[in-house]
């Protein structure tokens, strides 16, 4: 079946209209980028995931699908748990098919003598440096300038919980108001990994759990209802009278 | 999370499905075709034991659990059918050195169990978000002993006077046969006629998949 942008697509559907966008530019051809859920076979483009087909300017096509299992992809920020220390690398569980490696030199200010103090069981926020289907994924906790930015070890008095990958994508969308509304009446610190793990720390245990519940409830809440959702949670926490 | 009740023509028994009902699985479904019900759950892609590892493709493990007792020879046959048909549907080369587990639990059997199991595992695969070449739909049919008539999607009582029983699975692009299972004696022309009829009916199942996905995509 042929589908176009905005439709609900199934694996095996083929895309139409892709060629016509190529001609839109006067002389130069526009490059079409196929995102997740799409693949090219010969001169046809097939869908390989079920979801909603979306397009973003200039010509980026992708399928927005529901997923729970993380498949590593380069450049994404993830929340992981250190499971093993061996030699000069740490093994980190990020919820993918394989454990990721993290070099002890990949921290801000780390040298051969000055090792970072990481224990088994620590939660870290790191960036995927290498992610290919044939190789072990590799993480780093610094950017290309050698600075930490927001990456690194997350403090142990926070809480980590898992959710679906599509929820994380929804929350990290700049148009999603949840974090802003939630932050109006309570202070919290949060790290959302693209691997479906969220680390959160608020002022008290109650507030942490309440904020986590608000995030999980947001999966089936549209943006306009989020105000109501947060108000209800603040009421139960007695933050507002 | 999404409950669906669609009456699809009189040729197929009504289908019913609930998606994403297991919290620990990466993809799961409860699929009903008439009274035949199967719960399917998928885990993966995950780490694989070295003896089952394939360096160039995703390996698939299927576990089918019948309602009572341990799995028998017939159940192993269902596992093989599902593994082979899923392997053709999934883009196996995208995840080398990993495996997925498909777990199926029979809840009720009133005919057409194999077809129901294949459809349930396909819906679970769709839910898990694994990359697939196409979706597959399985249809069962039988040939009546006295009249020689082809009956689509028969239940247990109809199956008692069956001369032959078929189950076919088709892909969603060209409607080619992915898997075929037959029991009993039949002639070549009867076989071809039943393939033809099942192929037409399989479209209803593909439409059902799409409807389920549509309902689900709108809630998230």
> For residue range B114-153, what is the model confidence (pLDDT) as tens digits?
999 999 999 999 999 999 999 999 999 999 998 889 999 9
Question: What's the pLDDT score for residue B119?
Answer: 96
pLDDT at A5: 85
Task: Identify whether the C-beta of residue A77 lies closer than 8 Å to the C-beta of residue A126.
Answer: yes
Residue with tokens 């699975």: B169
What pLDDT, on a 0 to 100 scale, did the predictor assign at position A13?
92
Q: Which residue of B has its CA nearest to A131?
A: B95
Q: Where are the domains of chain B?
A: 13-219
Restricting to B residues 59-98, those with a Cβ less than 8 Å away from any Cβ of A are 89, 91, 94-98
Dump pLDDT digits (tens) for A90-147: 999 999 999 999 999 999 989 999 989 899 999 999 999 999 988 999 999 998 888 8
B127 contacts A66? CB cut-off 8 A: yes
In this predicted structure, the answer to whether residue A25 has a pLDDT above a threshold of 90 is no
* Subunit contact B220:A220, Cβ cutoff 8 A: yes
Superfamily of domain covering A159-236: K Homology domain, type 1 (3.30.1370.10)
Residue A153, min C-alpha distance to chain B (Å): 26
Q: Does the structure show a pLDDT above 90 at A18?
A: no
Say how far apart CA A130 and CA A132 lie, in whole Å. 6
Fold classification of A2-64 (topology level): OB fold (Dihydrolipoamide Acetyltransferase, E2P) (2.40.50)
Interface of B with A in 6-45 (CB under 8 A): 20, 25-27, 44-45
Q: Flag whether residue B53 sits within 8 Å of chain A, measured between CB atoms.
A: no
pLDDT in tens, A58-93: 788 999 999 999 999 999 999 999 999 988 899 999
- Domain boundary assignment for chain A: 2-64, 77-154, 159-236
Q: Is A51 in the B-facing interface, judged by CB distances under 8 Å?
A: yes
| Chain A interface includes B104 (CB < 8 A) | no
Taking all residues of chain A, what is their mean pLDDT, rounded to a whole number? 89
Domains A2-64 and A77-154 share a fold: yes
**Average pLDDT, integer, range B23-45:** 94
| Cβ–Cβ gap A68/B134 under 8 Å | no
Distance from CA of A7 to the nearest CA of B (A): 9
User: Would the CB atoms of B129 and A97 count as touching at under 8 Å?
Assistant: no
The pLDDT tens digits for A195-204 are 999 999 999 9
B101 touching chain A per CB within 8 A: no
pLDDT at position B217, please? 82
What pLDDT does residue A241 have?
Answer: 53
Measured in angstroms, the CA of A222 and the nearest CA of chain B are apart by 8
Q: Which CATH superfamily groups domain B13-219? A: GHMP Kinase, N-terminal domain (3.30.230.70)
The CATH topology of domain A77-154 is OB fold (Dihydrolipoamide Acetyltransferase, E2P) (2.40.50)
A97 contact B CB<8A: yes
Q: What DSSP assignment string belongs to chain A?
A: -EE-TTSEE-TT-EE-SHHHHHHSSSSSPPPPEE-TTEEEETTEEEE-S-EEEEEETTTEEEEE----S----TT-EEEEEEEEEETTEEEEE-SSSSPEEEETTSSTT--SSS-----TT-EEEEEEEE--TTS--EEESS-TTS--TT-EEEPTTSEEEE--HHHHHHHHSTT--HHHHHHHHS-EEEEEETTTEEEEEESSHHHHHHHHHHHHHGGG--GGGHHHHHHHHHHHTTS--
Determine which of B50, B52, B129 to mutate to test the interface with A (most A C-beta atoms within 10 Å). Answer: B129
């Amino acid at each position: 079946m042929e589908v176009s942008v905005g439709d609900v697509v199934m694996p095996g559907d083929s895309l139409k209209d892709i060629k016509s966008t190529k001609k839109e530019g006067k002389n130069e051809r526009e490059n079409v980028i196929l995102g997740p859920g799409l693949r090219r076979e010969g001169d046809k483009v097939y869908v390989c995931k079920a979801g909603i087909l979306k397009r973003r300017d200039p010509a980026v096509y992708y399928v927005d699908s529901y997923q729970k299992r993380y498949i590593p992809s380069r450049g994404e920020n993830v929340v992981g748990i250190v499971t093993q220390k061996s030699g000069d690398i740490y093994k980190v569980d990020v919820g993918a098919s394989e454990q990721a490696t993290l070099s002890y030199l990949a921290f801000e200010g780390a040298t051969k003598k000055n090792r970072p103090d990481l224990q088994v069981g620590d939660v870290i926020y790191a960036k995927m440096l290498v992610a290919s289907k044939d190789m072990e994924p590799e993480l780093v906790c610094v950017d290309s300038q050698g600075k930490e930015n927001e990456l690194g070890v997350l403090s142990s008095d926070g809480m980590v919980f898992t959710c679906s990958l599509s929820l994380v994508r929804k929350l990290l969308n700049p148009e999603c108001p949840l974090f802003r509304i939630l932050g109006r009446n309570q202070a919290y610190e949060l790290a959302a990994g693209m691997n479906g793990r969220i680390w959160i720390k608020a002022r008290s245990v109650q507030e942490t759990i309440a904020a986590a519940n608000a995030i999980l409830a947001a999966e089936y809440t549209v943006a306009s209802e989020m105000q109501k959702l947060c108000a209800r949670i603040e009421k139960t926490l007695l933050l507002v009278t | 999370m999404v409950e669906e009740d669609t009456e699809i023509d009189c040729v197929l028994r009504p289908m019913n499905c609930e998606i994403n009902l297991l919290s620990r699985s990466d993809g799961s479904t409860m699929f009903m075709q008439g009274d035949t019900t199967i719960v399917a759950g998928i885990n993966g892609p995950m780490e694989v034991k070295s003896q089952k590892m394939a360096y160039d493709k995703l390996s698939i493990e299927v576990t089918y659990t019948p309602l009572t007792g341990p799995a028998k020879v017939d159940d192993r046959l269902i596992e093989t059918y599902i593994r082979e048909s899923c392997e053709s549907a999934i883009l196996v080369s995208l995840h080398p050195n990993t495996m997925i587990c498909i777990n199926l639990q029979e809840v009720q059997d009133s005919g057409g169990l194999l077809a129901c199991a294949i459809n349930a595992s396909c819906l679970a695969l769709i839910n898990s978000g694994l990359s697939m070449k196409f979706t597959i739909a399985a249809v069962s049919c039988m040939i009546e002993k006295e009249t020689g008539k082809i009956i689509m999607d028969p239940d247990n009582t109809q199956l008692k006077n069956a001369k032959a029983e078929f189950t076919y699975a088709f892909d969603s692009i060209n409607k080619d046969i992915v898997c075929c299972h037959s029991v009993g004696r039949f002639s070549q022309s009867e076989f071809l006629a039943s393939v033809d009829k099942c192929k037409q009916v399989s479209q209803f199942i593909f439409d059902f998949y799409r409807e389920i996905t549509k309902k689900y995509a709108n809630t998230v």
